[in-house]
Amino acid sequence: MRLENKVALITGAASGMGASMARIFAGEGAKVVVADVLEDEGKGVVADITRANGAAMFYRLDVADEAQWKAAVDAALAAYNRLDILVNDAGLSGSAVEDLFDAAAWDRLMAVNARGVFLGMKFAIPVMKAQGGGAIINISSISGITGQHGVHVGYNASKGAVRTLTKAAAVQHGADNIRINSVHPGLMPPMRSSGRTADPEVRAAMLRQVPMGRAGRPEEVANAVLFLASEEASYITGAELWVDGGYLAT
């Protein structure tokens, strides 16, 4: 098993790609902290994992809240004694907002998508450093590299921030044996918070821009994250991995 004896905290793990990561990581032997604001869904993911003889716990975490982050990392340590892997996956879409320059939406997108990742690293890195190493994977997007229509500009800005704060932290903590990388999914099943980009016509138009001609499946991103979390990626840090069916190569 690729994550035997590892402890992983995954935010946004109640749904979508994060839930897929939680199941796959547990199947590879990790003890998983499923962290999310969605309690029922998160507990459902934990139940699935334990039914399959895996180890997992749910922790209710709003990633924009600094005090909650500290408590979540403390809870992971109390339950499992260590923290080897952090996946910052929680996120909000920018495609449900009408005004693409709405200031309140900017603040919310930056709070969850960028500040949430920053805070996760703030509390996980000292623990990993004391343990002698770790792996952090931050979920950005193709929107962190390029622009598109119909999405609040704050979504792209927040995902671009994830890309560069990943590189900055990787540079600063390479010597601590903490590897920090970003993953950039392309067109995936809609997010819970998606608006216009969940519309079938809009999706069909977006699909025409994907060289592979189809949307990605959550497990295709989860498996890329698994690779970066595992020892197979032992010399990879500060990198960005596009999982987008070729979208960014066009």
Cβ closest to ligand NAD, residue 1 vs residue 182: 182
120 binds ligand NAD (CB under 6 A): no
Percentage helix, strand, coil for the chain under 3-state DSSP, each rounded to 5 = 50, 15, 35
Residue 233: what are its φ and ψ, rounded to 5°?
Answer: -105, 30
Cβ closest to ligand NAD, residue 53 vs residue 250: 250
| 211-250 footprint of ligand NAD as x/- string (CB under 6 A) | ----------------------------------------
- Region near ligand NAD per CB under 6 A, out of 10-18, 45-53, 96-104, 167-175: 10-18
The single residue among 3, 8, 17, 110 that binds ligand NAD, judged by CB under 6 A, is 17
Cβ closest to ligand NAD, residue 9 vs residue 170: 9
The single residue among 62, 102, 176, 220 that binds ligand NAD, judged by CB under 6 A, is 62
Question: Is the distance from CB of 33 to CB of 79 less than 8 angstroms?
Answer: yes
**Cα separation of 36 and 101, whole Å?**
27
Place of tokens 């996120």: 91
Q: Map the footprint of ligand NAD across residues 95-114, applying CB under 6 A.
A: 112
139 binds ligand NAD (CB under 6 A): yes
Apex 89 CA angle, 213 and 101, nearest 5: 80
Cβ closest to ligand NAD, residue 56 vs residue 61: 61
Given the residues 59, 80, 155, 247, select the one marked as catalytic: 155
The single residue among 61, 109, 222, 225 that binds ligand NAD, judged by CB under 6 A, is 61
155 is catalytic: yes
**Cα separation of 166 and 199, whole Å?**
31
Apex 17 CA angle, 164 and 165, nearest 5: 10
Q: Map the footprint of ligand NAD across residues 171-190, applying CB under 6 A.
A: 185, 187-189
Residue 118: what are its φ and ψ, rounded to 5°?
Answer: -60, -45
Question: Is the distance from CB of 190 to CB of 137 less than 8 angstroms?
Answer: no
The single residue among 21, 63, 225, 233 that binds ligand NAD, judged by CB under 6 A, is 63
Which strands, in side-by-side order, build the sheet including 240-243? 55-60, 31-36, 7-11, 85-88, 134-139, 178-185, 240-243
Active site residues: 155
User: Under the rule (CB under 6 A), what is the footprint of ligand NAD?
Assistant: 11-12, 14-18, 36-38, 61-64, 89-92, 112, 139, 141, 185, 187-189, 191-193
